[in-house]
């Protein structure tokens, strides 16, 4: 759900509301405070710098979204599913709540809540009055009419209009289908801001404009049809001249109001459009898409900004991978694309178009999807497999090899192999040696093939293409996994129960390893000092480790392993085990009998994808339990498409200590994809902090409270620079004259100061939660720079801050 003012876009994301700038497309801050999914936001009509948000935790919160300050919390007590406000009903919000406890029926109720005006921060609002109980669960099926005179809501085939003045509900219903097979169920509603007109979107893509509904019998409607699938969202521009609509086609359609069929299109915006909203002056439109993206559009119908998070597809078919060059996380992105996502900066880098075909946004159409991808060790080659027709019998798949182009800094298609195998490719891997790159693919046709890059002597071209070098099979069994040893001198391919070891130089079958119970599910070689070990997991809950020098089974344990992931930079191997409905993590070295790290009951879903992300600089962590995270970080993806990670205690501290706007490493930042991560991290924090001594806190931002406060206060609420200037300069001057004698003594004194400051703050009744947070955070650094005299000034500054500068905002808004 998005809501926007001229300069800011607000969107709900998990348990917070995020504020983005429309000009720079940057994330400014998030409004955090809800404890459950935020289900709706609505601007406060009385004060357009404030926003209401409602959440499934049963509260409505009022925020100042420019500063990111929580103003009030209204406790309703029921899970809320949507919020609406109208300018006519001041102090009243309309909410969707579930009817009774019978959640199976999905009965929802629209209630009006009178928000009590009290000075307290937390208010219980119990004055509920039901408006209607015939409400669709879809929040876009309810809308306020002209000047808040009526409210229109639809459910299934019935449109209801409730007039506040008459206190009456008129309902209009449509037939379920007609002769042409139309599906008439309502999907969304928008009301014209100045005219008595209701626009409704329908499941078959029709848009109906209802008029004259004040008289039940004489109502009329006109139908317009462009969308070929359900209309997801409708929105009138503030003047009511245009109607915007969007659906699964990913085309934003602008209908001219009252001009019949005249319309404009903005195609190929991204995933299917979920919401459209307009700014209050009608200059900007904003669409949110199913692939975790917000598009900002000018009123001249041009895209002027894109806010993109980690692209969320239906499923991650490829493994999680790390691009060895950019250290970006690579996985399925937009349909037919691979996305490169920087975990360090928590930013979407780019999408690599693999399929290179026009994507048709149509439900139920079988299109090419990237199902496998692999990087070679230098990041110079990328191999991808795209597949189409998984459901039908004729499977089409293409193996593509991409070379990295230094000039354009991206991957360029080198070779396309259309019929690499006669059946589906199951797995592929690159050799890990630096000198020669070789790709091995295994397929369901019982063969594995080795592909090599080689110049074709006959064509005499400069470019060298990939061609098949060797085709291997073993007793017509189906190969599933393949893996190269660390030095690429051995290739292990498993054929159901049998693991075969080949020499890639001579293509000689060196040996076979056989472990009767169960088909081998996962296979990997040990690294570094453990490179003589081969580890495999079977479907019969066995984790086996062979010593390749003796070709004998070194050890095996009975554990159900769903994913085996070796760390490329160390000997460690991570194994995710799924037992009795929760996942455990074991990190072990193949040479040691005891696991390095175990984490029981990590999450409740099965884990199929995981990756070790190498750190930019290794940590010096002495703590034994987290030593395995020193060189790389483990990321994993659950079945619910949540991307989680493990982090150490020191990192947590650094994250906490750094200013909230600089929290880069905080993966919770952008997307709902990362939603659970936040909670998880909190858990971890609890888990990790007890073992961690508070002594090795990293360096904290320096600077006096005054300065930090000055810097953190939004510019438009600050007094004029001339007022502040002299104060600032004087504070700086004094700080320089501050005596520094004994650091120890100063430490002590500063601690005392801290305590005293705390007390002061409490006494001052600092209302703004985030301010106090900042204070706390800044205290660590108070020691050196805190000037004695500045305290008075500090207070003065606070006072200045607290004085009401809302008149200024009026000025600011009136200017443009």
Partner 1 sequence: MASFKPTKVPFLPKLGEKVTEETLYWKNYKSPVQIKEFGAITKIDFSPLPPHNYAVTASTRIHIYGPHSQEPIRSFTRFRDTAYGGRFRGDGKLLVAGSEEGLIRLFDISGRVALRQFKGHTKAVHMTSFLSDGFRVVSGSDDLSCRVWDVPSAVELSSLTEHTDYIRALAPSKLNPDLFVTGSYDHTVKVFDMRSGSSVMTMQHGHPVECVLLYPSEALLVSTGGRYVKVWDLLKGGQELVSLKNHHKTVTCACLSSVGNKLLTGSLDRHVKVYNSSYKVVHNFDCDASILSMAIAPDDEALAVGMTNGVLSVRHRRHKKDKETLTSRRRRGPSYQVFVKGKNFVPRQDDFLVSKPVKQYLRKYDKQLKSFEVSKALDTALQTWTRTSKPDVTVAVIIELKRRGTLKNALAGRNEERCFCLLFFRHIFDPRFSRPLLMVGDIVLDLYQQVFHQSPVVERLLQRLMEVLGREAELQQELLQVLGILDTLFTSLTPRKEVKFWIGSCRNTDQNVKACFFQSMAR
Write out the residues near partner 1 by the rule CB under 8 A: 266-269, 295, 303, 353, 356-358, 360, 362, 365-368, 388, 416, 418, 447, 458-460, 470-475, 502, 507-509
Residue 504: Cβ within 10 Å count? 21
Q: How far is the CB of 233 from partner 1 (least distance, A)?
A: 18
Q: How far is the CB of 306 from partner 1 (least distance, A)?
A: 8
d(CA 740, CA 470): 74
Q: How far is the CB of 278 from partner 1 (least distance, A)?
A: 18
- Are the CB atoms for 636 and 591 separated by under 8 Å? no
3-state DSSP call for residue 11?
A: strand
Q: How far is the CB of 459 from partner 1 (least distance, A)?
A: 6
Closer residue to partner 1, CB minimum distance, 425 or 649: 425
Closer residue to partner 1, CB minimum distance, 102 or 458: 458
- Are the CB atoms for 50 and 36 separated by under 8 Å? no
Local structure of residue 345 (DSSP, 8 states): T
Closer residue to partner 1, CB minimum distance, 474 or 578: 474
Closer residue to partner 1, CB minimum distance, 311 or 668: 311
Closer residue to partner 1, CB minimum distance, 34 or 337: 337
Residue 215: Cβ within 10 Å count? 8
Closer residue to partner 1, CB minimum distance, 177 or 357: 357
Q: How far is the CB of 303 from partner 1 (least distance, A)?
A: 5
Residue 224: Cβ within 10 Å count? 18
Q: How far is the CB of 358 from partner 1 (least distance, A)?
A: 4
d(CA 50, CA 52): 7
Closer residue to partner 1, CB minimum distance, 355 or 548: 355
- Are the CB atoms for 299 and 284 separated by under 8 Å? yes
Residue among 46, 603, 8 nearest 307 (CA): 8
Task: Kindly state the tokens that stand for 97.
Answer: 């709540």
Q: How far apart are the first and last CA of the chain?
A: 27
Closer residue to partner 1, CB minimum distance, 333 or 590: 333
- Are the CB atoms for 422 and 445 separated by under 8 Å? yes
Closer residue to partner 1, CB minimum distance, 35 or 390: 390
Q: How far is the CB of 180 from partner 1 (least distance, A)?
A: 17
Closer residue to partner 1, CB minimum distance, 353 or 761: 353
Q: How far is the CB of 692 from partner 1 (least distance, A)?
A: 47
Closer residue to partner 1, CB minimum distance, 493 or 778: 493
Angle at 295 between CA 293 and CA 298, to 5 degrees: 175
d(CA 712, CA 659): 10
Which residues on neighbouring strands pair with residue 188, listed in sequence order?
201
Residue among 691, 695, 681, 609 nearest 645 (CA): 681
Q: How far is the CB of 683 from partner 1 (least distance, A)?
A: 40
Closer residue to partner 1, CB minimum distance, 385 or 676: 385
Q: How far is the CB of 735 from partner 1 (least distance, A)?
A: 45
Closer residue to partner 1, CB minimum distance, 473 or 730: 473
3-state DSSP call for residue 301?
A: coil
d(CA 474, CA 610): 30
Q: How far is the CB of 507 from partner 1 (least distance, A)?
A: 7
DSSP E strands in 617-672: the ranges are 632-638, 643-645
d(CA 809, CA 256): 34
d(CA 160, CA 153): 5
Angle at 311 between CA 645 and CA 190, to 5 degrees: 125
> What is the Rg, in whole angstroms, of the alpha carbon atoms belonging to the chain?
31
Q: How far is the CB of 307 from partner 1 (least distance, A)?
A: 14
The dihedral region occupied by 260, where left means phi > 0, alpha psi between -120 and 50, and beta the remainder, is left
Helix axis angle, 721-737 to 790-802, nearest 10°: 160
Task: Kindly state the tokens that stand for 426.
Answer: 């199951």
Give the DSSP per-residue string, 697-728.
Answer: PPP---S-HHHHHHHHS-GGGSPPHHHHHHHH
Q: How far is the CB of 365 from partner 1 (least distance, A)?
A: 5
DSSP E strands in 548-682: the ranges are 552-558, 561-566, 573-579, 582-588, 597-603, 607-614, 632-638, 643-645
Closer residue to partner 1, CB minimum distance, 295 or 706: 295
Q: How far is the CB of 387 from partner 1 (least distance, A)?
A: 13
Q: How far is the CB of 474 from partner 1 (least distance, A)?
A: 7
Which residues on neighbouring strands pair with residue 130, listed in sequence order?
111
d(CA 258, CA 244): 13
d(CA 188, CA 152): 10
Q: How far is the CB of 336 from partner 1 (least distance, A)?
A: 9
Closer residue to partner 1, CB minimum distance, 61 or 388: 388
Identify the H or E element spanning 761.
helix 743-764
Closer residue to partner 1, CB minimum distance, 340 or 578: 340
Q: How far is the CB of 383 from partner 1 (least distance, A)?
A: 19
Closer residue to partner 1, CB minimum distance, 473 or 547: 473
Residue among 219, 230, 154, 155 nearest 191 (CA): 154
d(CA 710, CA 692): 33
């Amino acid at each position: 759900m998005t809501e926007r003012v001229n300069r800011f876009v607000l969107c709900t994301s998990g348990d917070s509301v995020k504020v983005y700038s429309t000009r720079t497309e940057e994330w400014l801050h998030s409004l955090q405070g809800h404890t459950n999914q935020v289900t709706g936001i609505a601007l406060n009509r009385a004060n357009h710098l404030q926003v209401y948000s409602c959440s499934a935790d049963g509260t409505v919160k009022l925020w100042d979204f420019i500063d990111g300050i929580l103003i009030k919390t209204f406790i309703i007590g029921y899970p809320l599913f949507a919020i609406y406000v109208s300018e006519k009903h001041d102090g009243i919000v309309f909410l969707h709540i579930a009817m009774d406890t019978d959640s199976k029926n999905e009965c929802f109720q629209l209630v009006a809540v009178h928000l009590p005006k009290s000075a307290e921060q937390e208010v219980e609002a119990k004055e509920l009055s039901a408006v209607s109980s015939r409400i669709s669960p879809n929040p876009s099926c309810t809308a306020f009419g002209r000047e808040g005179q009526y409210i229109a809501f639809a459910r299934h085939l019935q449109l209801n209009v409730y007039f506040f003045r008459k206190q009456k509900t008129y309902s209009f219903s449509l037939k379920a289908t007609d002769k042409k097979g139309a599906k008439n169920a309502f999907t969304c509603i928008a009301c014209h801001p100045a005219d008595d007109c209701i626009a409704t979107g329908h499941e078959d893509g029709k848009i109906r404009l209802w008029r004259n509904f004040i008289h039940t019998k004489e109502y009329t409607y006109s139908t317009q049809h462009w969308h070929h699938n359900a209309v997801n969202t409708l929105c009138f521009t503030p003047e009511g001249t245009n109607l915007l609509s969007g659906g699964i086609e990913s085309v934003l359609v602008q209908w001219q109001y009252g001009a019949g069929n005249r319309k404009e299109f903005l195609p190929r915006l991204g995933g299917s459009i979920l919401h459209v909203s307009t700014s209050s002056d009608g200059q900007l439109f904003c669409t949110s898409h199913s692939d975790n993206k917000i598009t900002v559009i000018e009123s001249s119908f041009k895209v002027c900004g894109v806010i993109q998070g980690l692209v969320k597809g239906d499923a991650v078919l490829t493994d999680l991978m790390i691009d060895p060059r950019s250290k970006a996380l690579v996985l399925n992105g937009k349909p037919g694309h691979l996305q490169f996502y920087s975990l360090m900066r928590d930013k979407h880098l780019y999408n690599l178009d693999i399929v290179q075909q026009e994507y048709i946004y149509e439900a139920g159409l079988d299109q090419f999807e990237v199902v496998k991808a692999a990087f070679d060790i230098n990041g110079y080659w990328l191999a991808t497999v795209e597949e189409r027709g998984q459901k039908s019998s004729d499977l089409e798949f293409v193996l593509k090899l991409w070379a990295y182009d230094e000039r354009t800094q991206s991957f360029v298609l080198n070779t396309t192999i259309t019929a690499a195998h006669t059946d589906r490719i199951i797995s592929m891997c690159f050799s890990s040696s630096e000198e020669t790159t070789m790709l091995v693919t295994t397929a369901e046709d019982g063969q594995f093939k080795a592909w090599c890059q080689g110049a074709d002597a006959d064509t005499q071209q400069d470019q060298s293409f990939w061609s098949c070098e060797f085709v291997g099979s073993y007793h017509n069994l189906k190969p599933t996994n393949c893996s190269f040893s660390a030095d690429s001198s051995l290739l292990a391919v498993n054929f159901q129960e049998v693991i075969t070891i080949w020499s890639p130089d001579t293509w000689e079958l060196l040996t076979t390893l056989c472990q009767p119970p169960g088909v081998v599910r996962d296979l990997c070689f040990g690294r570094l000092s453990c490179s003589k070990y081969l580890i495999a997991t079977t479907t019969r809950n066995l984790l086996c480790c062979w010593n390749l020098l003796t070709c004998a089974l070194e050890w095996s344990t009975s554990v159900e392993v769903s994913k085996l992931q070796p760390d490329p930079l160390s000997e460690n191997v991570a194994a995710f085990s799924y037992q009795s409905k929760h996942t455990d993590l074991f990190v072990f070295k193949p040479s040691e009998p005891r696991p390095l790290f175990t984490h029981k009951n990590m999450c409740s879903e099965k884990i199929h994808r995981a990756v070790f992300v190498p750190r930019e600089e290794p940590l010096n962590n002495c703590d034994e339990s987290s030593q395995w995270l020193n060189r790389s970080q483990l990321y994993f993806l659950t079945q619910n498409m949540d991307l989680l990670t493990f982090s150490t205690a020191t990192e947590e501290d650094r994250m906490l200590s750094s200013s909230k706007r600089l929290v880069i490493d905080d993966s919770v930042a952008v997307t709902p994809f990362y939603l659970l991560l936040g909670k998880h991290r909190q858990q971890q924090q609890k888990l990790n902090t007890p073992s961690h001594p508070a002594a090795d806190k990293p360096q904290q931002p320096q600077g006096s409270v005054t300065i930090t406060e000055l810097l953190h206060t939004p510019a438009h609420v600050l007094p004029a620079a001339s007022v502040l200037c002299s104060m600032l300069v004087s504070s700086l001057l004094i700080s320089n004259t501050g005596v520094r004698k004994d650091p120890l003594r100063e430490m002590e004194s500063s601690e005392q100061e801290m305590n005293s400051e705390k007390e002061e703050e409490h006494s001052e009744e600092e209302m703004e939660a985030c301010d106090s947070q900042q204070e706390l955070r800044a205290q660590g650094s108070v020691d050196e720079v805190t000037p004695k005299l500045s305290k008075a000034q500090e207070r003065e500054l606070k006072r200045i801050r607290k004085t009401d500068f809302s008149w200024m905002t009026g000025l600011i808004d009136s200017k443009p």
